[in-house]
Amino acid sequence: MGFLHAGHASLAGEARRRADLVVMSRFVNPLQFGPAEDFDQYPRDLERDRTVAVEAGVDVLWSPTAVELYPTPPAVTVEPGPVGTILEGAVRPGHFAGVLTVVLKLLNVVAPDVAVFGRKDAQQAFLVRRMVRELDVPVEVVVAPSVREGDGLAMSSRNVYLDPAMRAGAAALPRALAAGVASFRSGERRAGNVVAATYKVLGAEPALTVEYINVVDPDTFQPNHAATARSYLVVAARVGSKRLIDNVILGDGIENDPVR
C-alpha cells in the first residue's frame, strides 16, 4: 500500500527473477479500512517510495488515486467467502472484500503473468490465490517469505507507529512463533499444544494483548487439530492501540525468513 521498505524490495527482487518487466502498485485502498481504522493516518511518502522502488529495480511504479480506481462508489465487490470471516476477517469485517476487490482491479489493469505477495499477510495471500483460481484470472500468484528486522519483527509499513517501549513488546511475536516451531520440532503434533507453547511467550509480555493464535491448514486456512510441516502458525496481538500480525510455516521455521 505504500511507505515501502526492504520487504517490498524483496518482492520486487522475486518478481525480477521471474519476469522481464516489473510493475509495482502503490495504493492506500480505502475499501479495506474500517471506520475506526487508520486510513487517514496511514504513512504515505511518494518520493521515498520512488527511491525504494528504483533501488529495487522496479521498472514501473504505478500509484493511482482513489478517484482513478473508484470513479464512483463500487456497487460490485469480491466476496471472499467463509475464510474471509475468520481470524483477520473476524477482527476486521469487510477487510478482505476490500482487499480482493482492489487486487482484482489491479490485476485486470496491469495484466501481469506473475504477481508476488508477501507471506506476512498469509490469509490475504491465501484468499488472493483462491480468487484467481476460482475466477480464472490468468496470473501465477507467488508468495514470498516475510522479511524481518534484526530483532525478528516482521517488516511492516505500520512499524513506524511503534515507540521504543512498544517495539520492545512487539519483539515477543517472533519469539513466540519460534517457541511454537520449537514445540513442533520436538515432536508435538497437537495443534493445541503448539498454540499453548506460543501463548506462553506472548502471554508473558505485559505490553501485548493477544487477539488470536491458531495453527491453520495451508489448503483451507481453517484451524487445524493436527500440526504438520506445511501448517501455518498465525498470531495477532495489540501493543497499545496498534495491531500486529505474523506467522510462520512450522516446517520452515522463522529462521528461514530473510533478515534485513
Q: Map out the domains of the chain with their CATH numbers.
A: 6-144 (3.40.50.620), 157-253 (3.30.1300.10)
**What's the confidence (pLDDT) of residue 40?**
81
pLDDT in tens, 116-150: 999 999 999 999 999 999 999 999 999 999 999 99
What is the rounded distance in angstroms from the CA atom of residue 188 to the CA atom of residue 202?
A: 19
Is 80 exceeded by the pLDDT of residue 1?
no
All cell numbers assigned to 1: 500500500
pLDDT in tens, 192-230: 999 999 999 999 999 999 999 999 999 999 998 899 999
Whole-model pTM: value is 0.94
pLDDT in tens, 96-113: 999 999 999 999 999 999
pLDDT in tens, 45-84: 899 999 999 999 999 999 999 999 999 999 999 999 999 9
**What's the confidence (pLDDT) of residue 3?**
84
Give percent of the chain above pLDDT 70.
100
Number of helices (H), then strands (E), belonging to the chain: the values are: 9, 7
Helix (H, G, I), strand (E, B) or coil at 236: strand
**What's the confidence (pLDDT) of residue 41?**
80
β-pair partners for 242: 239
Helix (H, G, I), strand (E, B) or coil at 107: helix
Active site residue 8: yes
Is 90 exceeded by the pLDDT of residue 241?
no
Is 80 exceeded by the pLDDT of residue 38?
no
At a CB cut-off of 8 Å and minimum separation 6, what does 20 contact? none
Is 90 exceeded by the pLDDT of residue 260?
no
Tell me what the mean pLDDT of segment 152-157 comes to: 94
The region, left, alpha or beta by phi > 0 then psi within -120 to 50, assigned to residue 48 is alpha
Distances in Å between the alpha carbon of 8 and those of 104, 154, 192?
A: 19, 12, 33
What is the rounded distance in angstroms from the CA atom of residue 26 to the CA atom of residue 168?
A: 29
Is 90 exceeded by the pLDDT of residue 2?
no
Rg (CA), the chain: 18
Average pLDDT across the chain, whole number? 95
